Structure 1
């Protein structure tokens, strides 16, 4: 296979990166020369300022997390700026064991509108951004075995099919509305404006400033936000002293319900 392999992803806590890179690595391993992988990490704000384009000499594995059953709306501007020019693409979505709803079909549609040729797609599970117990430590060894097998299937399809066939993935058109939790009275609860708090454990290391994908945490006072919070979990899960937390009642209710209602293990779904 004489193609440049590109892994492009948004991955605030590392789960999407692990899956996208795993697929890319397995495709590369199948080549005699182990084709180098070109990584494009657009998690941080600066990376999303520069649009990228590809050619028919490329293959692109594009990964995003699932937020409320959809592609995160804060990524749409960047994603729609990427140009395919007939490039083979594999959309990958990663969700926290609830459901990926319409995220995969939405990402597939975005890529096709950008002149990519979507040849495969996958929905994988990663530890939920709200929780340390829901889909804990996933993608795990079992997941990564499926990731490797998916990479092998993609490589075989490229090598054996002169004309790459279109694929069909799960999802609805029009897309469903963003999933919204309910408060204690059963009414929709909008948690978009909920922000993390900072406790006395903070040592002002500013790691949270560095990892925030919105660039929202104030570098002079890490307890303050200068922009939006997308509840990605990066500042909480990566804080070395466990200084970051949420205390909003609706957020905590939703988190608890997710951990109870969706505790049963879900498995990746592949489309090729």
Structure 2
């Protein structure tokens, strides 16, 4: 059995949660990074004996559209899949259901699903530092149960929560922009998952292409890219009631 870790993780939180789970499932995994701008994901083909951990963040209770699109180019060929959705302590709503449909459409057999928590990518004080030590223990326990299912040859499909049709997708409208500290190094344009930043002029961001993933903010060496502080404060206030209490991960198996 070969193990693959297929992730869309612009700011690293989803990757961290996926790594913690995958490490317990299999000692060695091949990475497939769905954030790469121009990768030929159709070249990735799997076999029925393989195991794929497919991890995405929840953006407003949905899978990022670009992640669904790129996942759809993979050739699952009956490989078993463990789905992971990672959210910023608010709610994941229809994310797992949508991810399940995308994985099945790509030819994977879904055998388990996990909802995990990581630091909110926009208002970072919510779920700050997560996944933490408690989350790691929980993900280890989830992995042990999934390993038991694999060892038993049990490929039954879990009951995964979510609505169909999915909730209406909506963008946050938060498009990061560079400040005076920007030295035009171009790293943000190079690493933007959707080509929203002009490589010739990083000051120029296409608001229609931007998915508010906050990768440019998280990787800027000068900490020069920011979102509008008024909008950030409004988002903080809106999330305060639903994000303050600690939420725990969930396993569907």
Instruction: Report if TM-score (shorter chain) is over 0.5.
Output: yes
**1:57-113 deviations in Å (ceiling 9; x for gaps):** 210000111111011112222122222222110111111111000100111122123
- Cα pair 1:44 1:215 within 8 Å, conserved: no
Superposition pairs of residues 99-138 of structure 1, within 5 angstroms: 99-138=91-130
Question: Does residue 210 of structure 2 align to residue 267 of structure 1?
Answer: no
- Cα pair 2:160 2:252 within 8 Å, conserved: yes
Q: Residue 21 of structure 1: which of 19, 22, 29 is its match?
A: 19
How many correspondences in the alignment? 252
Helix, strand or coil: the match of 2:38?
helix
Alpha carbons of 1:177 and 1:200: their partners in 2 closer, same or farther (altered >3 Å)? same
Q: Residue 153 of structure 2: which of 140, 151, 162 is its match?
A: 162
Helix, strand or coil: the match of 1:16?
helix
Please state how far the C-alpha of 1:203 moved relative to its aligned partner. 3.0
Please state how far the C-alpha of 1:17 moved relative to its aligned partner. 1.1
List alignment gaps of at least 5 residues for structure 1.
30-35, 181-189
Measured on the aligned residues, the alpha-carbon RMSD in Å equals 2.0
Helix, strand or coil: the match of 1:210?
helix
Partner of 1:231: 212
Matches of 1:21 and 1:234 in 2, distance apart?
19
Helix, strand or coil: the match of 1:61?
strand
Helix, strand or coil: the match of 1:17?
helix
Alpha carbons of 1:167 and 1:191: their partners in 2 closer, same or farther (altered >3 Å)? closer
TM-score, length basis structure 1:
0.85
Alpha carbons of 1:55 and 1:65: their partners in 2 closer, same or farther (altered >3 Å)? same
- Cα pair 1:191 1:251 within 8 Å, conserved: no
- Cα pair 1:209 1:219 within 8 Å, conserved: yes
Matches of 1:84 and 1:163 in 2, distance apart?
18
Alpha carbons of 1:172 and 1:240: their partners in 2 closer, same or farther (altered >3 Å)? same
**Greater Cα shift, 249-258 or 89-98:** 249-258
Partner of 1:254: 235
Question: Does residue 221 of structure 2 align to residue 221 of structure 1?
Answer: no
TM-score, length basis structure 2:
0.91
Matches of 2:244 and 2:222 in 1, distance apart?
27
